[in-house]
């Protein structure tokens, strides 16, 4: 098949998945062949492979590998750097958007959630939440990106400062190599494990260069019972650094997110996206969003108020507000 025509390649892929016509698509493929920003990829006809099961994924990969047919793994196609779309007309897309055959599984005792790579991130977050657990990957694309793509990009997000990126949260992983072989690293090991090479870690952030991630096991955390959010306005970057130092001295396990926005970015959000910003953006040049997640509402609130008061006294901030309700908190995060 080496050097086969496009028609022969398509016929071969169709034969591999003959009982599942939706596994190979040729029409309306531009949502797969171009990125959402219209910046990367192309409009040329592309073959899109959409495996649903592990044997299908293995068969597609090994056939393409034997016949030197380039495939680009793709999940939610929300990446910002063109890694999930074809570069050349002869490249085909291997989309993981149907790869959800196994139901999400939660081991409450071990606090581990196991998911097929095609699960939408928001579904994973919601599933954990229904069982009173937090899956702390919060990114703007959560309604579209898939967990396999998140692991392949080592996604971080808003809660990075407390929980780390996915590298700190993936405890098991299964991948299919280009040869079609399955690499099973699902045995969830203790963090203290020090045996040999950490192959699992190699796949995290590998962007599809080593194989296709098919399943992952991730840590989930007991859902905090309190959430407090403050916006601190600073007039200089020097003061931002001083506040940051103060924040780093707070008790561990309290701060869940620290994000910095400057006034020009906020102005752009208001002017270009037409968003109403629910805090005063005329008070400083820099705005720090500081979130606490904890288990004692009164004490958490008191600590946040104390931080604001001392930062005002010391002249590090020129203004500060605390979200007054969950709706207010969500409105502030929506600006971010």
Binding site for ligand FAD (CB under 6 A): 72-80, 83-84, 96, 117, 139-141, 145-146, 148-150, 152-153, 155-157, 207-208, 212-213
User: Is residue 82 within 8 Å of 40, Cβ to Cβ?
Assistant: yes
Please identify, using beta-carbon distances, which residue of 212 and 311 lies nearer to ligand FAD: 212
Shortest gap between Cβ of 332 and ligand FAD (angstroms)?
16
For the chain, the first-to-last Cα distance in angstroms comes to 51
Shortest gap between Cβ of 73 and ligand FAD (angstroms)?
4
d(CA 146, CA 132) in angstroms, rounded, equals 22
d(CA 141, CA 246) in angstroms, rounded, equals 31
Shortest gap between Cβ of 334 and ligand FAD (angstroms)?
12
DSSP state of 120: B
Shortest gap between Cβ of 243 and ligand FAD (angstroms)?
22
Structure tokens, 248: 């780093």
Chain centroid to Cα 81, Å, comes to 14
Distances (CA, A) of 334 to 29, 229, 289: 31, 13, 12
Please identify, using beta-carbon distances, which residue of 215 and 219 lies nearer to ligand FAD: 215
d(CA 93, CA 168) in angstroms, rounded, equals 29
Please identify, using beta-carbon distances, which residue of 84 and 303 lies nearer to ligand FAD: 84
Please identify, using beta-carbon distances, which residue of 80 and 334 lies nearer to ligand FAD: 80
Please identify, using beta-carbon distances, which residue of 90 and 305 lies nearer to ligand FAD: 90
Shortest gap between Cβ of 121 and ligand FAD (angstroms)?
7
User: Would you list the DSSP string of 98-138?
Assistant: T---SPPEEETTTTEEEEETTSBHHHHHHHHHHTTEE----
Please identify, using beta-carbon distances, which residue of 58 and 303 lies nearer to ligand FAD: 58
Shortest gap between Cβ of 36 and ligand FAD (angstroms)?
7
Residues in the chain: 336
State the residue number with the nearest CB to ligand FAD. 149
Structure tokens, 147: 């967990």
d(CA 110, CA 133) in angstroms, rounded, equals 12
User: Is residue 42 within 8 Å of 86, Cβ to Cβ?
Assistant: yes
Please identify, using beta-carbon distances, which residue of 25 and 312 lies nearer to ligand FAD: 25
Q: Which of 290, 271, 291 lies closest to 281 in space, CA to CA?
A: 271
Shortest gap between Cβ of 158 and ligand FAD (angstroms)?
7
């Amino acid at each position: 098949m080496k050097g086969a025509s496009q028609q022969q390649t398509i016929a071969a892929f169709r034969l591999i998945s003959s009982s599942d016509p939706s596994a190979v698509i040729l029409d309306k493929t531009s949502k797969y062949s171009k990125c959402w920003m219209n910046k990367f990829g192309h409009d040329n006809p592309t073959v899109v492979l959409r495996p649903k099961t592990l044997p299908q994924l293995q068969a597609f990969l090994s056939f393409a590998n034997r016949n030197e047919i380039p495939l680009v793994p793709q999940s939610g196609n929300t990446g910002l750097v063109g890694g999930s779309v074809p570069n050349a007309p002869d490249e085909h897309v291997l989309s993981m958007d149907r790869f959800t055959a196994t139901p999400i599984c939660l081991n409450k005792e071990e606090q581990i959630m196991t998911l097929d790579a095609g699960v939408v991130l928001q579904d994973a977050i919601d599933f954990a939440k229904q069982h009173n657990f937090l899956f702390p990957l919060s990114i703007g694309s959560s309604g579209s990106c898939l967990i396999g793509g998140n692991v392949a990009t080592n996604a971080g997000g808003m809660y990075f400062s407390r929980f780390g990126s996915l590298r700190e949260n993936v405890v098991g992983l299964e991948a299919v190599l280009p040869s079609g072989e399955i690499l099973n690293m699902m045995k969830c090991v203790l963090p203290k494990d020090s045996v040999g090479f950490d192959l699992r870690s190699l796949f995290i952030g590998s962007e599809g260069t080593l194989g296709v991630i098919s399943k992952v096991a991730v840590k989930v955390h007991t859902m905090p019972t309190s959430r407090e959010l403050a916006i601190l306005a600073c007039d200089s970057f020097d003061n931002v650094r001083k506040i940051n130092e103060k924040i780093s001295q707070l008790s561990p396990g309290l701060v869940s997110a620290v994000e910095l926005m400057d006034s020009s970015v906020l102005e752009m959000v208001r002017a270009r996206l037409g968003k109403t910003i629910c805090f005063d953006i005329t008070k400083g040049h820099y705005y720090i969003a500081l979130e606490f997640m904890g288990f004692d509402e009164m004490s958490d609130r008191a600590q946040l108020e104390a931080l604001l008061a001392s930062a005002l006294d010391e002249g590090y901030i020129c203004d500060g507000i605390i979200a007054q309700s969950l709706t207010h908190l969500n409105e502030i995060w929506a600006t971010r």
